[in-house]
Structure 1
Amino acid sequence: MMPASSPQLPARALARGHLGALLALAFAIFGGTALITAGAVLTETSLSAQAPPDRLAGATVLVSAPQHVAVAEDFDVRLTERASVPTDLADRVADVPGVAAVATDVTFPVSLTARGSGSTVTHDAHSWAVAALSDPGLRGAAPKTGEVVLNHETAESAGLAIGDRLELTAGDTARTVRVSGIVESPGAVHLAQQDAAVVAPLPDGVADLIAVRASDDADTAQVAAAIEDAVGSEYRVTTGDARGAVESLAIGNARGELLELAASMAGVLLLLVGFIAASALAISVAHQRRELALLRAVGATPRQIRSLVARQSTVAAAVGLVPGVALGYPLAGWFSGELADAGAVSTELPVAYTPIAGMTVVALTLLVVQLAARGAVLRASRRPAKEAMGDAQVEPRHPSRIRTGTGLTLIALSLAPAFLPLVMPGDAAFLSAASSTLVGIVGLALAGPALARALTGRLFRRTDDRTSATRWLALNNTHAYALRTAGSVSVLALALGLTLTQVYAQSTLDTVTREEQSAGMKADARVTGPLTAGDVAALSATPGIDAAVPMVSTTFVRTSTSLGDATTERFPALGVGPGADQVLDLDVADGDLAALRGESVALDAGAARRWGLRVGDRTALRLGNGVTVRPVVVATYRRAFGFGGLIVSTDLLTAHGLARSIDTVLVEGDSAAARAWAEGRTHHTVVSGRSLTEDGGTNMERWISLIVLMPMLGYVLVAVANSLRTATGRRREELAMLRMLGATPRQIRAMVTREAALISALAITAGLMLSVLPMSVLALGVVGRPWPQGPLWVIPAMSAVVALIATCSMRGATRRMLRRPVIG
């Protein structure tokens, strides 16, 4: 038996003899780890990155409510709206030793109309007591009742100076105020504490957070600990740069969105790297069968064989790991910039460039390579020495039944969920249809050798004396080397199926969303921009306007029980004001949308069935700020893709401190009257037409999908081409034997071209079956048309790309080998 350390020398010798396959692995690892590292860096950014406070920089400590709903044995669900704190906490905090000043903070929109100019701007307003915690650079005097302080940029843009008067609208009330001072600090508008408490759209006795300034000689950590004891564990006490995420919910929410996106991206790419690495290693092991058989014959144990292959694979992977991880960091910066430009994440969130992400990627990638290498050589290492020697020149005649059975089962399991949209055409249908492709590709990789052997065997048996030599050789090679054929087919089908699934899942969602919104919008115009309740009232009173209904985007959290397990999830929702039935046609299944007032909601009919709710029932929900409510269901509707699964009355939102700023007002009546009203109002836009998507509402999702898809697709296609070149390049002895038997270079090239055509045909068929079929069923279930929704030219275009990659890669490698002498 060979000594335990003896595989080291054969490992180096084997690596020298199979550099092409190992370099293909190194290249696959290089491209994959660059993208995985980018996803890992963004994941770390979402978990740990901090942005220092801006407006609240003068507050040493912030006291806030938790921005999540605790979930037992699962991840907490983040709240997207500001959870409030009781204002009486400020009295407790003020009594803490070391506290110099305390102020309750609240943010709410106000509209400012300068006298004489008539122009109106909307800004966020705050209490002056918070700005006074630091030196704001005040010129003039602090505001008293009926006065405001503006920052320099706001005053200059509005042409206002100290002593000027202007109309201030907050909520549904308007008043005349005087500018008492101008500051340089952030925060556009500051009101006196008494005025802020009166006009802020919050329930009595609550605020957004509590800002604390510690004494100059106090230790911040000790003060924070004392405040924690005073307020209790129910509230959060924050110091340092972590205050930035408390001040700006956009930063905290961006971290949550970025975590979901980046973790999903990194996870999918890690699976792809494992898949492509396994394919490259299968090719490498297939061409090392002779050497591995000799090692088995001289006494190497199966464990030593697996260790040998794993060691050389790890070395090859390490060659690609280092530059791949290094490239991933600047790539993460580029991804972050693109996502910020698309509005998906906050521009204030800094990218976390630490070694943690790189080290994690290195460990995970090496683990994947180890598993792939040991899996690729498992069967060869277990074969008895005599059988190994006998099979060294040919592939095993029959693939493993366990492998084939597992693969066929996975293919069947991948196709079954594709028909879910016909039964349950909701969001779950998109998830099941999109995820089924990847499961099917894994099944194809496992069952591929048996399927390839069966299909090519059927084609080969149809050959006769009239079959050309090149066609006969191509069919014989693809049939005899079914493992090699299946590996090429699987990676090509992966590239095709992944692309088509990503494209058509998004385009189908865009189509059904656009069509339902177009059919459901009855409004003649939409006014967008930061609007207040007073703006809505003024717009409603404008001659020519029949109805002006506010609409805001929000979220809610619901806990449901299925099969005895409780699940807490966050869902998007719309808040719509009274008169929703005048501007929206949601294809109501039951109830009346006109009853959407007060504590009431309307539900998607499918969700109502799943939750066991009917019109008139009450349901327990948590609003976006965590407040638990029990609204009554007043209607169920069918156009959930266009308008979301839940529509809540804005009365319910405003009663609990939400809907402070209105996103959109749906206008029924004269569009010209709406435009005339909006003239001179900064940041307000009027869009005519019965549509909700003319402003590109779904373009952001499409852009984010494109940002993730294009590098991923490029990596897969390049890795596939590299794998095919390597697999073809290892056929030197086979092609040399054909040349010695009299085959001309032209005949060999023709044979390889036919092989590439056959492999491409098999890959395109498999890729279309595993992607286009689920996407067609999805379209039938949600749109009613049994074909993929979106640009159909993508199917022939991607099929042509797959065929071109296969042909060029295999012919290019063959051409290089034919330039060499047959002997020598």
Structure 2
Amino acid sequence: MISLATARERWTSFLGSFVAVVLGVAVLTMSALVLLSDGPQVPRRLAGAPVLVQSPAGEPTGGVFTQNPPWAPERAERLRRELGRLPGVEAAVADRSFYAQAAGTDQRVGERQGHPWSTVALAAYGLDAGRAPATSGEIVLDESLGHGPGERVTVLTARGPQRFTVSGTTDGPGYYVTDRRAAELVGGIRAIGLVLGPDADPERVAGAARRVVGGDGTVLTGDARDALAPKQDEMTRWIGGQVLTAMALLSAFVTVFNVSSTFAFAVAQRRREFGLLRTIGATPRQVKRLVYGEALLVGVVGAAAGAVAGVTLAPAMTGLLIDAGFQPTGFEVSIRWWVPAAAWALGVATALAGAGAASRRASLVKPLEAMREAAVDTRPMTRRRWGAGLVTTGLGAVCSVGTAFAGADAMVLLALGAAMSLTAGLTLLLPALTGPVIGTLTRPLARRSGATGVLVRENMITAVRRTSATIAPVLATVAFAVLITSAVQTTQSADTTRQAAAVRAEAAVVPHGMPGLSDAAVAGVEGTALLSTAVYGGEGAVALSAAGVAPGFEQVHGTRAPRGNTVVVTRSVAAAHGWGKGRTVPLTFEDGRSGRLRVTAVVDDTMPYQVLLPREVVRAHDPSALADVAYRTGAGTAPLPARLGAREVSVAAHAASADAEDDRLVRVFTLILVAVTAGYTMIAVASLVLTATAGRVRDLRVLRLSGATQRQVLLTLVTETCCAVALGAALGLAVAAPALFGIAHGLRRELGLPVELSVAWPWVAGVVAGCLLLATTATALPARAVLNRMGRT
């Protein structure tokens, strides 16, 4: 009952904790609901087949999601015939795909695919208008593209633009041509669909198919067919999972931080109250239970509100994730009742955990504190706090030095460790640092501003705990905002410099509105094009990124291009599979055929591909391969026709945009992390300032009785807040600086190139401005209300 009465009376002291718990549980609920929802669905072009057979899975490399290696053509055809003879099977159709895109359109990945007409039997849709293609010059396409039967359409393929006559349209995605025309463009076979008779039992047919397939594939029915969803969707889901997991963990950490800081400050302000309770007979255990009761009340109500908000906002959050590229198109969130229940329980536990230290501190208050009149913090630091602060700060300094000499993988971890350690260390040492630092920095203010400046200076020095409590969340906010954004910006800039330095060319021809460059787009470029594909080699058919290169590759990258039956591999691939120079290695290509090639060179891992092959070898085995880029080494060429989907840019511009999609995802991810961190800590700043202002009613009354005007009082309070925010921002920059300088030095040492530290000043300015706006608002509004009441009385 006392806890309830205290929370109702001192609601401003618990407002920040309440909001933090609400937001934390809401984020956790939304994240968990999305993470636990069903994954990608079976593609519509295969959904009409009750039984699907998938080729054996290869071994992924480097955490990259890749397609299964295709069957060898002879094995695929033999399986198709044997499966087609099973009882209840009307037809066994091999699924094949090739790159196709109507000129002038910007379609999603899954819609830029062409197929033989025979595979339409596997789809969950059919002809909507017109008829099937009968000649090599006819095509059936998606009705949403706006073309009808009889119209002429230009379709971009790996070989270049090709003209077709629309013979019909479908109500599903994709382009369908005759099987003979498709044979010129399709790659390998990775799936075979079984079209069943009307009375056939899918499970019985699947059992028979498993006996036929054996270890040469996987038979899928029902929901298991989702395994044939595009690997790009799976990768998108994985990226989204990392974002959601980071959001949930970060929100949980910051929630505990906010609850603990607000309760610690509230306990510090209520020492006289706790001393009075001890005077009238309350035991330390009862005082501790009182604080825990307040935290329990905040946790129960706040977590319930957060769980409801999380369930309500989950669909909207899913839409934002899809738009940002962190979930595949068509993804839908599933609501499970136990998720908000678990989030509610975790929110309550978080609130109690955050109040743990504050409850112990409250239980140690002595009865004599009831006699306390002054607000002077005579002993803000204990020996234990001094020791912890110095040790943590020293650890941060060691991590900062290590950042400059660590490898690429350890560099990020050491930088994060340095920032966290320095933030925690300076936060612990703030009560000791605040007095001397504030006294030094505000001495000019006191001299020039008269009584107001002196009052600001003395108030901040006297109430060290209040000043430190305001500075701490600003310090953490600015430190992590600067570190996260500037580290990403510096790393991206260094990667751009590295890529540009590795290329010797006059210009780069890059795709424009297409996933790659066709043969027609690079035909007139004097230089070399990198024809992107995938190969499979080593034990477990490991997927390796590969490129087909022409002789001009040596002039661009300084590595002799492979010729004939030869291959160039990177050092990591050579070490993993024992593919030294001179070895003959087996590789499986995109059409399912295998060959043995001799390794002529082993190059550094800075090469953008793991395997380099002769261009003619890649084109022979992957008719649908597209070039990622073509480097021009000779004189300028005539402008490329827009219909080819290519444009010429500088090498530096290409290096900056080569990973444009990855960079975009990184920027969005960074924005989310900064927004979550800054949002929570801004709430903490506003809450602490609001609590401090509400607890200074007696000070405000004394100032008014001493002759200060309402404007002077407000100016004093706002100036105190601005000084605290400014000091917190400065300390935040100081915390992040060693780690950032270490990252820049480490990148310069590792790359051997000039790497400049790049600070994301707009992000920093935005975070500091947000903290300043919230803090001053939380100071001025309640103070003004209090002063107005004083004026009326």
Which TM class, normalised by the smaller chain length?
0.7 to 0.9
Q: Residue 755 of structure 1 aligns with which residue?
A: 720
CA contact (8 A) 2:236 2:325 kept: no
1:578 maps to a residue whose letter is A
Return closer, same or farther for 1:124/1:793 CA change in 2, 3 Å cut-off.
closer
CA contact (8 A) 2:556 2:633 kept: no
Q: Residue 423 of structure 1 aligns with which residue?
A: 405
In structure 2, distance between residues paired with 1:673 and 1:52: 45
Q: Residue 3 of structure 1 aligns with which residue?
A: none
User: Which one of the candidate residues 672, 686, 689 is aligned to 2:650?
Assistant: 689
User: Which one of the candidate residues 250, 258, 273 is aligned to 2:232?
Assistant: 250
* Structure 1 residue 573: Cα displacement: 6.2
User: Which one of the candidate residues 187, 191, 195 is aligned to 1:209?
Assistant: 191
RMSD: 5.3
Return closer, same or farther for 1:531/1:574 CA change in 2, 3 Å cut-off.
farther
Render the CA deviation track for 1:613-665: whole Å, top value 9, x for unaligned: 99849899999999999995935459x4xx75x54315599599779431524
Q: Residue 691 of structure 2 aligns with which residue?
A: 726
* Structure 1 residue 686: Cα displacement: 2.0
CA contact (8 A) 1:64 1:84 kept: no
* Structure 1 residue 255: Cα displacement: 1.1
User: Which one of the candidate residues 601, 612, 619 is aligned to 1:634?
Assistant: 601
User: Which one of the candidate residues 98, 117, 120 is aligned to 1:108?
Assistant: 98
Render the CA deviation track for 1:132-180: whole Å, top value 9, x for unaligned: 2467339898779x85873244899889859x999997779x9999999
CA contact (8 A) 2:442 2:457 kept: yes
User: Which one of the candidate residues 10, 19, 26 is aligned to 2:11?
Assistant: 19
Return closer, same or farther for 1:464/1:654 CA change in 2, 3 Å cut-off.
closer
Q: Secondary structure at the match of 1:126?
A: strand
CA contact (8 A) 2:185 2:624 kept: no
CA contact (8 A) 1:583 1:668 kept: no
CA contact (8 A) 2:47 2:122 kept: no
In structure 1, distance between residues paired with 2:344 and 2:127: 50
Q: Secondary structure at the match of 1:819?
A: helix
In structure 1, distance between residues paired with 2:389 and 2:585: 44
* Structure 1 residue 492: Cα displacement: 0.9
* Structure 1 residue 54: Cα displacement: 1.1
CA contact (8 A) 1:577 1:596 kept: no
Provide structure 1 residue ranges, at least 5 long, that are not aligned to the other structure.
1-8, 114-121, 560-567
In structure 2, distance between residues paired with 1:440 and 1:211: 59
User: Which one of the candidate residues 172, 176, 186 is aligned to 1:189?
Assistant: 176
In structure 2, distance between residues paired with 1:738 and 1:558: 81
TM (norm. structure 2) is 0.78
Q: Residue 600 of structure 1 aligns with which residue?
A: 568
Provide structure 2 residue ranges, at least 5 long, that are not aligned to the other structure.
104-110
* Structure 1 residue 805: Cα displacement: 4.4
Q: Secondary structure at the match of 1:764?
A: helix
Aligned pairs for 1:279-358 (under 5 A) are 279-296=261-278, 302-328=284-310, 332-355=314-337, 357-358=339-340
Q: Secondary structure at the match of 1:367?
A: helix
* Structure 1 residue 763: Cα displacement: 0.8
Q: Residue 6 of structure 1 aligns with which residue?
A: none
In structure 1, distance between residues paired with 2:213 and 2:66: 23
* Structure 1 residue 241: Cα displacement: 5.3
CA contact (8 A) 1:407 1:447 kept: yes
Q: Secondary structure at the match of 1:290?
A: helix
Q: Secondary structure at the match of 1:777?
A: helix
User: Which one of the candidate residues 469, 475, 492 is aligned to 2:474?
Assistant: 492
Return closer, same or farther for 1:445/1:352 CA change in 2, 3 Å cut-off.
farther
In structure 2, distance between residues paired with 1:413 and 1:637: 35
Return closer, same or farther for 1:512/1:13 CA change in 2, 3 Å cut-off.
same
Render the CA deviation track for 1:592-630: whole Å, top value 9, x for unaligned: 354598432245xxx799999998498999999999999
Aligned pairs for 1:363-762 (under 5 A) are 363-381=345-363, 383=364, 386=367, 397-424=379-406, 426=408, 428-430=410-412, 432-434=414-416, 436-452=418-434, 455=437, 474-521=456-503, 522-528=505-511, 535-536=518-519, 542=524, 545-552=525-532, 575=547, 577-579=549-551, 581-582=553-554, 584-585=556-557, 592-595=559-562, 598-602=566-570, 616=581, 634=601, 636=603, 640=606, 646-650=609-613, 654=618, 660-668=624-632, 673=637, 675-676=639-640, 678=641, 680-681=643-644, 684-690=645-651, 691-693=653-655, 697-698=659-660, 700-701=664-665, 703-705=667-669, 707-708=671-672, 711-712=675-676, 713-736=678-701, 748-749=713-714, 751-753=716-718, 755-762=720-727
Return closer, same or farther for 1:277/1:810 CA change in 2, 3 Å cut-off.
same
* Structure 1 residue 817: Cα displacement: 2.9
In structure 1, distance between residues paired with 2:403 and 2:588: 29
* Structure 1 residue 59: Cα displacement: 0.9
- Equivalenced residue count is 766
Q: Residue 818 of structure 1 aligns with which residue?
A: 787
In structure 1, distance between residues paired with 2:701 and 2:486: 45
Aligned-residue sequence identity (percent) comes to 23
In structure 1, distance between residues paired with 2:207 and 2:279: 70
Moved more, 466-475 or 129-138: 466-475
* Structure 1 residue 17: Cα displacement: 2.8
* In the alignment, structure 1 residue 775 sits paired with structure 2 residue 740: yes
* Structure 1 residue 789: Cα displacement: 0.9
TM (norm. structure 1) is 0.75
CA contact (8 A) 1:540 1:547 kept: no
1:648 maps to a residue whose letter is V
CA contact (8 A) 1:470 1:754 kept: no
Q: Residue 107 of structure 2 aligns with which residue?
A: none
In structure 2, distance between residues paired with 1:268 and 1:403: 25
Return closer, same or farther for 1:798/1:735 CA change in 2, 3 Å cut-off.
same
In structure 1, distance between residues paired with 2:687 and 2:721: 14
1:500 maps to a residue whose letter is V
* Structure 1 residue 182: Cα displacement: 6.9
Return closer, same or farther for 1:527/1:91 CA change in 2, 3 Å cut-off.
same
Q: Residue 108 of structure 2 aligns with which residue?
A: none
Aligned pairs for 1:253-264 (under 5 A) are 253-264=235-246
Moved more, 807-816 or 454-463: 454-463
Render the CA deviation track for 1:502-560: whole Å, top value 9, x for unaligned: 33123223322333344444153414269899943x56654xx323412438799999x
Q: Secondary structure at the match of 1:599?
A: strand
